[in-house]
Structure 1
Amino acid sequence: MLPWKHLLRPLSALLLAAAVTIVPAATATAAPTATATAAADRAGAVAGRGWNDYSCKPSAAHPRPVVLVHGTFANSVDNWLGLAPYLVNRDYCVYALDYGQLPGVPLVHGLGPIDKSAEQLKAFVDKVLAATGSAEADLVGHSQGGLMPRHYLKFLGGAAKVNALVGIAPDNHGTTLNGLTNLLPYFPGAGDLLSTATPALADQMAGSAFLTRLNAGGDTVPGVRYTVIATKYDEVVTPYRSQFLEGPAVRNVLLQDLCALDLSEHVAIGLIDRIAFHEVANALDPAHATPTTCLSAIG
């Protein structure tokens, strides 16, 4: 990948953060109706694909529901058009939530304070467990979606209700966005802009107060299995090894160790990479795991 291409995603994120602050008042006024309509349309589409089906009952082979947690600037449908059907077709009960919504910003979520988003996840997991009659769920998250659940597990009682957390390109120890965030001190007010307009971006910056508190005392909590699936071509969570966790129940996976030909970057690994999806399936059912190779792309 050409060096300038590595900058496109981080620059887009920063530009979108700035755009949030200048959403016209008229848009903010009209957004609730438009957002509600779009959400209803997405919910119907999802149910038609077999996920977010609250009549689903987990099977003996897969006794826990799977909750999918989208990333920043994503939503419960678009982020999971690849992985959700992949898991449904393997007889999992699959659910996905929207979280981190900002007023007047429809369709793209994961922008609000991460600790508040974790509270939304807590409520959603409780809803899923009540509907399925399960004692525990498994969580799979992409990007911020792999990070945010750790707050739920550590501070909101989630460890008692979650068996496993699978993070796909999670920014567990923050990111410098290829060093772009290191430029913020040279632009007075830029840091405050990120904090007020898109708090989730500020929370995900390496060294943030949120990450300092989350990672204090260790990366993991007892009773939960952790898997991190990363790509060395990640241009958003940098350096990519900052995604990995340390702890007694952790498995860190680098895609290129399984298939050197896999060129997925930060977005593709969560949206379309069936090699990564195969590793997700292995993490959800380790007793029946099968080797992940380049051929997993067509499996």
Structure 2
Amino acid sequence: MPRELVLPEGFVPAEVPDPPVEPRDSATVMLVRDGAAGMEVFLLRRVAGMAFAGGMTAFPGGSVDPRDADASVAWHGPEPRWWADRFGVEEGLARALVCAAVRETFEESGVLLAGPDATSVVSDTAPFAAARRGLVDRELSLAAFLAEAGLVVRADLLRPWANWVTPIEERRRFDTRFFLAAVPSGQHADGATSEATDAGWYRPTDALDDWKHGRRGLLPPTWTTLAELEECGSVDAAMASERTITKLVPRVVRDGGVLRIVIDGDAGYADAANQLDATPDDRVQLR
């Protein structure tokens, strides 16, 4: 992690929950496209007053809805067992994670990774505007929406990318699986969501430059993922990346007057107290 990457003031609570909060399973999707000046990724600036990561820039995503595990969802692409092996989870959760990725992407960006059959993808999502609102309001499940619309999840359009877990110091924790997807031809990401103040397409290098100059807030998983996408250079290269998914559980350390995130392999990770300012005897086990 770069030394300039520090946590916002007040981001970590003064008292660490004991026992630690159980992380909620969630999915986030990096939507990419090839722009005139190189690959671009779709980013949202979260509403400042949100309980978690308010004001920060992020990718579309959110928590798994129990209904995302509905086995009746029509499906094309790698089966849940394949995803379970990649993310190191049981098959039911793997199905729910893929469905959550599809649902949250549609809710927050209007991009729908589904089609009438295994060989086609929706090119115009406008007819599904009412269904999108129903999904956002939790009045409609993904399974019910797809069945009524005669669509199947296109799991083959997604790629597994990473797995980050919110540090143990947080009161709101997420076990987030990161996916990559190219925007289907004819579809447009709009960012019409109440959870964001603005949204748009950015080259990873530009988003990182905005962060460097204080124009954008990035949490460590977002910063890391943008740096990885920057190295890929193109949608084809990114989609072809062979990723080994390792669960990353960062720890928070106090460095002078700032808080930093360290991950396994960083100096200080092994000795970092899970509870800020705690003695070694006070440490609690990561979950």
TM-score by length of 2: 0.26
Greater fraction of residues in helix: 1
Structure 1 or 2: larger strand share?
A: 2
| TM-score of the two chains, using structure 1 as the length reference | 0.25
